[in-house]
Amino acid sequence: MKKIVFLIVLMFALFYKIYSQGIELGKDTTFCMNAEKKYVGSNMSILGNNTNISFSWSCKYIDERGSLLARDILNDTNISNPYLISWPSNAKWIKLICTASINSLPYKDSIHVRVSEFNYILGYRVYDLNVGDSISLSAPTSGVGGVLPYKFIKWKPGIGLNDSTNGNTYAKALLDKTGKIITYSWIIEDSAGCEASNIQLGVKAKLPNATVVESDVKDNVYFIDPYSIIIPIKNELSYTLFDFCGRICAKGIVESGIIRLPQPVQSSTIYLLNIESTSKWVKSYKIHYSPSQ
């Protein structure tokens, strides 16, 4: 009788040991192409006492190009969380099997992984515009790679755009201190949640035939109050005043060396003042109003 009880207890202990240990790799995973490293064991759960454990990854993938083994796909086949070093093209699924030896007992689980190769740019163009002018931007309605269907998201960045979520929008040339190009990318998301851009368009603001004078004081061009700007030149001139985003604040004729603005400017805000003569000579000043002036 004691032997029977002992065998029952032994079988129960062995059964408990076997089924209270194991590994779970988690859900099948799609990696985005631009992910720095694509770890396949990040969601692994180890059940039971894992003080004495070793790992072995295996795989055999065959397609028209040949076969791939685990050593061809993973950086290390004997650790818990290796990363991909190679994968099939066109976002094809590949099955990886992990065998964990826990306290000398083998446990297996598998996971399907794929890589969305969705990081393409099909075109690039730069437009040179006068500050404050606009140009129409049109985004393609197709993409390359990734997991279909696509979701068209937005233009990025949204600065200077009429509507960043519309593929057909307008971009305004903004005044930039460095004269750098603002590059807009039309962002697409595939069904795996990976983002890419299928076109990039650059917009650069320019001041044709103009010299920008940083110091308005030395040229005696300055605000005397929020409504008035002094211009030392007495000839018949026209002016256009832009804010720092390239929007036209005011335009008109310089009268007796003074510009009378229809509305006050904001204090400590930089403005661009374009002065134009009848012979189309242009000079530009960066000026700002300070109550202490």
161 within 8 A of 184, measured Cβ to Cβ: yes
According to CATH, the superfamily of the domain at 124-206 is Immunoglobulins (2.60.40.10)
Read off the pLDDT of residues 251-283 as tens digits, 9 standing for 90 and up: 888 877 788 888 888 766 778 888 887 666 667
pLDDT given at position 284: 77
Contact residues for 159 (Cβ-Cβ < 8 A; gap 6+): 174, 182
pLDDT, tens digit (0-9, with 9 covering 90-100), for 159-209: 888 899 888 898 887 765 455 678 888 888 889 989 888 777 888 776 544
Q: Considering only the top CATH level, what class is 212-288? A: mainly beta
CA gap 293, 291 in Å, rounded: 5
Q: Which of 277, 291, 118 is nearest to 209 (CA)?
A: 277
Cβ proximity of 201 and 125 under 8 Å: yes
Burial of 282 (0-12, 13-18, 19+ CB in 10 A): middle
Tell me whether the CATH fold assigned to 2-116 matches the one assigned to 124-206. Answer: yes
> What single-letter amino acid sits at 4?
I
* Phi and psi torsions of 8, nearest 5°: -65, -45
CA distance 202 to 171: 10
Three-class SS state of 233: coil
Is residue 113 within 8 A of residue 41, CB to CB? The reply is: no
Tokens 């299928």 belong to residue: 198
Which CATH code of 3.20.20.70, 3.40.640.10, 2.60.40.10, 1.10.1270.20 fits the domain covering 2-116?
2.60.40.10
Residues of the chain with pLDDT under 70: 1-20, 49-50, 65, 120-122, 131-132, 175-180, 206-220, 233-236, 244-246, 267-268, 278-282, 291-293
**Upstream peptide bond of 157 is cis (omega within 30 degrees of 0):** yes
Q: 222 and 179 in contact (C-beta within 8 Å)? A: no
The domain limits of the chain are 2-116, 124-206, 212-288
